[in-house]
Amino acid sequence: MRLRGSLLLGTSLCALSLRAMGPAYADCAAGDGQLTSPGTCATPQTLTAPTGVVSAGATLTAGYSIAKNNATLTNAGSLVGGLVQQEPGATVVNTGVIGAITSIGDLNLINTGTIAVQNGTAITLSASTLSISGGGVVKGDSYGDSVQ
């Protein structure tokens, strides 16, 4: 009985010490566009699934690419490295911050957050249609023929 109690206590202390080291960001390393843990990630993300998520408290310093037709990205975090839509028909629901958006296909943007760059274009469209709603902030330093 005494050995069992010591074993349980040792296992519990080991688990507590691992937890005290800080959270692991295994979802960042996968690069699959699913950032479900808070913290900073420097691994580029490519969404090939129908849906992707960037949770509140997650900051991506590298780029985020949507590489799936008609995919939906829900962003509550911060995409400092910006967003590139590589396939048409994407929906982006943004309640967080996105550095800039480059879109090559039709894009449905529901923005109650912020899309902003200090030097450059906030949204760049290439032969596509932009549907934007939500009343969020879109701010860039340059403007052109399309919504920028």
- Tens digit of each residue's pLDDT (9 = 90 or more) over 45-93: 999 999 999 999 999 999 999 999 999 999 999 999 999 999 989 999 9
Q: What pLDDT does residue 142 have?
A: 55
Q: What pLDDT does residue 127 have?
A: 65
The mean pLDDT value for 89-101 works out to 95
The answer to which of 6-15, 94-103, 139-148 has the lowest mean pLDDT is: 6-15
Q: How far apart, in whole angstroms, are the C-alpha atoms of residue 18 and residue 46?
A: 30
Q: What pLDDT does residue 121 have?
A: 87
Residue 128 — pLDDT band, cuts 50, 70, 90? Answer: confident
Question: What pLDDT, in 10s, does the model give residues 7-44?
Answer: 444 444 444 333 333 444 447 999 999 999 999 999 99
At residue 132, does pLDDT exceed 50?
yes
27: tokens are 């979802």
Residue closest to 81 by CA, chosen among 45, 110, 107, 39: 45
This model's pTM is above 0.95: no
Q: Are the beta carbons of 141 and 122 closer than 8 angstroms?
A: no
Q: Going along the chain, which residue ranges are E strands?
A: 34-35, 39-41, 45-47, 51-54, 58-60, 64-66, 72-75, 78-79, 83-85, 90-94, 97-98, 101-103, 107-111, 114-116, 123-125, 130-133, 137-139
At residue 144, does pLDDT exceed 80?
no
Q: Are the beta carbons of 114 and 97 closer than 8 angstroms?
A: yes
